[in-house]
Structure 1
Amino acid sequence: MSSAPDPFSKRPIAADAAPVLERFRASGGRPFHTYPVEQVRDLYEQGCAANGLRADQLAKISDITVDNFRVRIYDPQAVSGPTPVVLFFHGGGWVMGSLSTHDGLCRRLAALTGLPVVAVDYRLAPEHPYPAAIEDSRGALHWLFTSGDDHGLDVTQAVLVGDSAGGQLAAVLAIENASAADPLPIAAQVLIYPMVDLTMSTPSYARVTEGFPLVADTIAWFADHYLPAGTDRTTPDVSPALGALPAGLPPAYVITVDNDPLVDEGACFAAAMARAGTEVLYRHLPGYAHGLFTSAGRIPQGEKAINDIAGFIKHRATT
């Protein structure tokens, strides 16, 4: 897809992404961190509803409460026998996002892969700061493999998928599981523009500072709401890109976009996993901004990239 320099941000903008960006700027162009928490959550819900994928029809969808969080199970075929499962963690900086914001994406992944997708509605900051989100995510992974009577699935293996903050949660779980004495069968991980270095020290933070819904100051705002004062931002379950990586990590598909403060840390993390011996498929999409996948109903490249992710999952979860 062709791109051209943007006179506002001086960044290249892909032609199919330009209309969504123009609507954002026409509405005032204020990035997320300039709003109060409750308002930014509402705006994110509205934006995902307006720009996300249509709601694909599936055989069965059910919501279940697990301890302190909820999950939604998207079952495309009403599976009754052994099956791999996609465990999905939504983005939103640990502050916003919900089952609703990523509903279209999860439905599409279920429809394309033919596999159940279990989306995790973990607790959000600042009401529930770190480590609530990662504790809920760990709990969801354990529940998936141990509570078949609750969810009705005979889970053979899991694929961990997450975007942005959800990508961080998926990456942390993959690392922790690979380091465990008795690891669970994790077939693969898909990390969509993951937020994996909360020291915020990579060069792309200086490149993406205005003109987009998510800029460098937005990441800082998210981190300040999620992390209690004094939290060590280099700890492995905060910044998985900074720690030593174990052998035996599941194959990874890492996607970054150009107009994103997180692009360099995502690329560095993909390279670090490769150096640790992990099979890594890395894809960079120039001219696109953070939020591409929750805008895939309006931006064709987002929908195409979801198709590619589904192909990766099908290959890794069935071989």
Structure 2
Amino acid sequence: MSERRKQDVERVPLSSIAPDARDLIQAYRESGEISFQDVPLATARDNYLRGCEANGLPRADCAVVRDHEVPVPGATLRVREYRRDASGKPPAVLFMHGGGWVIGNLDTHDAICRTLARESGAAVYAVDYRLAPEHPFPTPLDDCAAALRWLVDHAASLDVDVSRLGLAGDSAGGNLAAVLANTQVLLPRACIVRAQVLFYPVTDLRGETASYQRIVTGFPLTANSMHWFRDHYLRPGTSLDDTRFPSLFSPLLSPLLAPRPSNASLFLLSCGLDPLADEGVAYAARAIAAGARVEHHHLPAHAHGIITSAGRIDTGRVMLIRAAAFLRETLLHNS
């Protein structure tokens, strides 16, 4: 969006932002509104790591935290396992971190995964997928699909119950989780996804919703940020298509366009002050229409990123605990 067009859009006043998030947004605005796309890529990655460390939850104790090596063509992935208890055969949750497919790693989301494992009772496996632009689409998705195959193939030695499987992620990680859940060809044979937990996911990469037009300034993630992430994730010339002429790849980029939506139980968090707000709401509505059990929390006065800032934004902590309860209810109590 041009600078002239940005000036035509009314900035969301601080008084309209939720009280528990207002100080962080005010500090961001007063510091010059330097976002991901405004600095070199290496700096954006380092800033994101520092921000998650400064604003995230404390790292909860888990009985098991260990890294596994998963071979994929041309590389070896790290998959980090979190368990509340060292014994038992818990359900498994594959977690994909956010960061626009470009930034973020296991460390930026370590506290989140620890909390999910402790509060849900499931074994959580976080994927350190390769990042764009060094590894553009479909490599991050392929890495997550490979991690899921590894998890299912090694369920016996890992001592997890993959008949009670959940997929989870925030932002771009929510996109990867949703694509896996909605694309049968990417799932291991006879694999059934029981639960999706998606925090403000990217579900429509076309970026044509009203919330993209509304959130263009005043927040760390804006429409311009999303365009920057998308341009790094996709190779030049990649077609996003539309619903009239979907290509083979459209649902692999935009799970909202999946021809047959997953009927897995869905927990979805969307935030009103987020360019991704409308597509998150649309994804939840489509899941309801498909007959899935859906728990959708929409926070009209919060912005993108409250889960990675849950140490400073209490609503983020509450939503993360509620998501863990959803996993516990869905994967443990309804088995």
Say if 2:136 is the partner of 1:137.
no
Partner of 1:43: 47
Cα deviation, residue 243, structure 1: 3.1
Which of 9, 12, 17 is the equivalent residue of 2:12? 9
Cα deviation, residue 82, structure 1: 2.6
Partner of 1:270: 284
Say if 2:209 is the partner of 1:209.
no
The percentage of aligned residue pairs carrying the same residue is 44
Output the TM-score relative to the length of structure 1.
Answer: 0.92
94-103 vs 228-237, which moves further:
228-237
Over 3 Å counting, the alpha-carbon distance change for 1:214 and 1:64 in structure 2 is same
Distance, in Å, in 2 between the alignment partners of 1:39 and 1:179 is 33
Helix, strand or coil at the partner of 2:90: strand
Give the letter for the 1:299 counterpart.
I
Say if 2:304 is the partner of 1:296.
no
Contact 1:82 1:156 in 2 (8 A): no
Which of 11, 36, 41 is the equivalent residue of 1:32? 36
Give the letter for the 1:74 counterpart.
Y
Partner of 1:120: 127
Helix, strand or coil at the partner of 1:17: helix
Say if 2:108 is the partner of 1:108.
no
Which of 58, 61, 64 is the equivalent residue of 1:60? 64
Contact 1:178 1:249 in 2 (8 A): no
Helix, strand or coil at the partner of 1:159: strand
Partner of 1:236: 251
Stretches of structure 1 lacking an aligned partner (at least 5 in a row): 1-6
Say if 2:171 is the partner of 1:164.
yes
Partner of 2:4: none
Partner of 2:85: 77
Distance, in Å, in 2 between the alignment partners of 1:156 and 1:73 is 18
Cα deviation, residue 177, structure 1: 3.4
RMSD: 1.9
Distance, in Å, in 1 between the alignment partners of 2:286 and 2:61 is 39
Over 3 Å counting, the alpha-carbon distance change for 1:52 and 1:181 in structure 2 is closer
Output the TM-score relative to the length of structure 2.
Answer: 0.88
Say if 2:296 is the partner of 1:282.
yes
Aligned counterparts, 1:142-153, within 5 A: 142-148=149-155, 151=158, 153=160
Cα deviation, residue 89, structure 1: 0.5
Which of 59, 81, 94 is the equivalent residue of 1:87? 94
151-160 vs 84-93, which moves further:
151-160
Distance, in Å, in 1 between the alignment partners of 2:327 and 2:63 is 20
Distance, in Å, in 2 between the alignment partners of 1:148 and 1:312 is 22
45-54 vs 67-76, which moves further:
67-76
Cα deviation, residue 244, structure 1: 1.8
Partner of 2:245: none
Distance, in Å, in 2 between the alignment partners of 1:76 and 1:126 is 35
Distance, in Å, in 1 between the alignment partners of 2:329 and 2:293 is 14
